[in-house]
Amino acid sequence: MPRRKLTSAQKWQVIGMRTTGLSLRRIAVHFGVSYSVISRLLKRHKESGTVDERERSDRPRKTSASPENWEIHGRVNVVGVKRPTGRCYSYTDPNIRTVDGRSFVSLATGEFVLYKLKKTPVEVHTIQDKVGQNCAVAVRAASDIFIVYGCGSPKKWIVRRLNCNEQTQHLKVFERSLGTAFEIILPSGTRVNIGIRGNSWLNIDIIPSFTDWNQTEGKCGTYNGDSSDDFTDRNGDIVGVADFIRSWGVTQMESLFVAKIRNEILSIPFFYCSCLPDEFPDGPITEKADCSWEDSLPTCPPLNWGQKKCQLLGKREAIDDVEIDVPENMITFEESTMSTDWKNGWNATVARQKCESTLHRSPIFKDCSSLQNVQNDQTIESCITDIQVSGSDIFLSDVIERMKSECLSELRFNASLWNNNTESSEPSLIDTVFDNACPNDCSFTGTCTKGQCFCEPSYTGDDCSIKTDRPPILYDASEESLCDLSKRPCTSTSVFGEGFFSSASIKCKLTQATLIGSTIIEGNVTKIETGNLESFAEVKCPIAGIINRRKRSATKVSDHDVILVSVSMDGTKFSSSVPVVMFNSSCSSCVISGNTVACDIRSDICIRNGECFEITNENCASSNIAPVEHVYPTISLIIGIVVGSICLLAIVVLVVVKMYNHKRRFVKDIDEPNFTMGLAKESGSAPVSHKFK
């Protein structure tokens, strides 16, 4: 019996079914083919990006008109009309520009949809904090999601790629400067650029692919070349800017930052197919379709950036990590109360002079200003608005970064600007700009050469901003310093701060400590472990080897493991330490502020054989349950000190009384005025010695 062959449409359907998590055997049964057929197909797609059979050596090789050195696999959308290049950004506090060019200021707080496709599950969300700055961004393509989060105080920047594996990897992520800058390429070819600026806020740039034409919505507006309909709300109505901003605030059920909701969204299987002409043979599905939802467009990775691929973690390793989970009040829409009046001596004239002089100082200003899509006038106006709203020049450096971003984007993707004349002795425009496009202009402590910084002695980092002769600075403990044993095993912990850099000598100093009341008392047991650099702001330290596994009483669950963690980048100069507290939320609750920790046993539980149960649990109905000892550490400590002091005072009084009586019994004939340690002298007589018996 001849083997059954899959049609091209069916092969793409196999790829789509595999991304939903279906097993190879189940897919094989569905199509009536062997397991090995499905296995070979998936392997071919993984290696080459196509489902087509490899060409045999005895067949003439097909040729194409595609540019030299390009490999194009799968379906490619060909655009037969000229479409304007769009660009949406959300900068500083934030100034927002829609894809088609309308600018506005959005000071409201909460989580917002910045960019979203109408037909496929691709979206970009941001969180704006109480001062109006972007403090978090989430980029999602189906079940693959990339998050940069820093909404706490101080800013602890957490960068995570969630739910990423070989079957669900839809994003291409590139990074620079140890995670201060990212470029994410969406399945359609749209590029999302993220920059962490001043260790305080996020700038987001989105350059849509031509395939997103008429498919976008959110605060970036509709990409269709017509700016008049950019302020379109969720209902499809064109509204004023205030209603437009409010419309794109998210509800809790849409959030990509609330862990429970995000996990529910990511667990939904995604399957997207588009109908095709009658070019494939009939198969078991009624409609002929292409189920490869990703547009295989050739993409050029950014120069001098590294690709951040999926980390294929084991189940235990994936669970034992910091979870990004924000409270509901952080994502809820709230109107801003910030004043937009001029303040602190600034006015429009002074602000304009400051913005223009800063922009003109850039070494690439003159070259970039000649490009059509570099809009310096709009950049200057945004800079003036930043000063007006903030009352300071805190965002001034962004005027150069904004111009640089527009310039580099134009040079990368406008092929008409490329100069292939190798005989000319004059450097081309693209060479001049890229040679001087170093991050933060090397912080003026390094030299920019071919787009890379070469740092002066005792400085390091992609932008030469870190001094190597100083220990790093760790931020105070916060929610990330609490490790809940009911949710993860707590074999490692992340610490956040400044002054981290790539090094082969990263060490974590771990010291056991004790929590007495709300005070942490350092112990004597210390261990040095090798740390792992996660990003410019995070080092992960293993703590399993030092956790104090004290044997707890069946009813005393008030003890908590506390570890003091400090970090060194060279193995010798260590930072100050921060506490990490292990607790079990099914038994107790802990709150941490600065370096002070307060933990209390929950009042709604019972304890049986050392295990905690909700008071409504059937285990709590038994008469043999040990009563819960509700320990109030601060009060207990005060009572202990008072009782101990009284006991000590009583002992001292008893000793003094006893010594006094002892002396009265054995020491006699002492002339009190001439008493000298057992030696007395009477008038007119020789000294007399008195012995103590």
Q: Is residue 155 part of a domain?
A: yes
Q: Which residues contact 119 (CB under 8 A, 6 or more apart)?
A: 215, 272
Shared-domain flag, residues 361 and 322: no
How far apart CA 410 and CA 251 sit, in angstroms, is 36
Residue 258, token pair as written in the block: 């609330």
Contact call for residues 138 and 257 (beta carbons, < 8 A)? yes
How far apart CA 214 and CA 225 sit, in angstroms, is 9
What's the chain's average pLDDT?
79
Q: Is residue 114 part of a domain?
A: yes
| Domains of the chain: total | 4
CA distances from 113 to 2, 195, 250, 464 (A): 53, 18, 7, 35
Residue 359, token pair as written in the block: 């922009």
Three-state secondary-structure class, residue 275: strand
**Torsion angle (degrees, nearest 10) of CA 107, 110, 115, 118:** -130
Shared-domain flag, residues 122 and 28: no
| pLDDT score, position 258 | 93
**Torsion angle (degrees, nearest 10) of CA 432, 438, 440, 441:** -60
Rounded to two decimals, what is the model's pTM?
0.74
CB atoms within 10 A of CB 648: 10
Residue in the block written with tokens 């194009």: 72
Give the up-direction half-sphere exposure of residue 645: CA atoms within 13 A in the CB hemisphere.
6
The DSSP H or E segment spanning 404 is helix 398-413
Q: Is residue 363 part of a domain?
A: yes
Contact call for residues 233 and 239 (beta carbons, < 8 A)? yes
Shared-domain flag, residues 524 and 385: no
Q: What percent of the chain has pLDDT over 70?
A: 74
Shared-domain flag, residues 352 and 323: no
Shared-domain flag, residues 261 and 393: no
Q: Is residue 364 part of a domain?
A: yes
Residue 110, token pair as written in the block: 């909460």
Shared-domain flag, residues 236 and 353: no
Contact call for residues 152 and 436 (beta carbons, < 8 A)? no
Shared-domain flag, residues 314 and 365: no
Contact call for residues 396 and 355 (beta carbons, < 8 A)? yes
Produce one character per residue of 284-294: b if its CB has 16 or more CB atoms within 10 Å, e if not. Answer: eeeebbbbbbb
Q: What is the pLDDT of residues 95-119, one digit of tens each?
A: 999 999 999 999 999 999 999 999 8
What are the CB-based long-range contacts (under 8 Å, 24+) for 341-345?
A: 341/388, 342/388, 342/391, 343/391, 344/391, 344/392
Q: Is residue 629 part of a domain?
A: no
| pLDDT score, position 418 | 73
CA angle 551, 554, 555 (to 5 degrees): 120
Domain carrying residue 433: 348-416+427-437
Shared-domain flag, residues 183 and 213: yes
Q: Is residue 186 part of a domain?
A: yes
Shared-domain flag, residues 410 and 521: no
Instruction: Kindly state the DSSP code that residue 85 receives in the 8-state scheme.
Output: P
The DSSP H or E segment spanning 243 is helix 241-247
Q: Is residue 203 part of a domain?
A: yes
Shared-domain flag, residues 533 and 431: no
Q: Sort strands 289-290 and 473-474 into parallel, antiparallel or unpaired.
A: unpaired
The list of the chain residues with pLDDT below 70 reads: 1-4, 9, 19-22, 54-82, 166-167, 269-300, 311-320, 419-425, 548-559, 594-595, 622-647, 650, 652-693
| pLDDT score, position 123 | 96
How far apart CA 603 and CA 619 sit, in angstroms, is 16
Last residue of a domain, one of 569, 602, 618: 618
Shared-domain flag, residues 525 and 397: no
Q: Is residue 524 part of a domain?
A: yes
Q: What is the pLDDT of residues 210-249, one digit of tens each?
A: 889 999 999 999 999 999 999 999 999 999 999 999 999 9
Shared-domain flag, residues 400 and 495: no
| pLDDT score, position 78 | 53
| pLDDT score, position 238 | 96
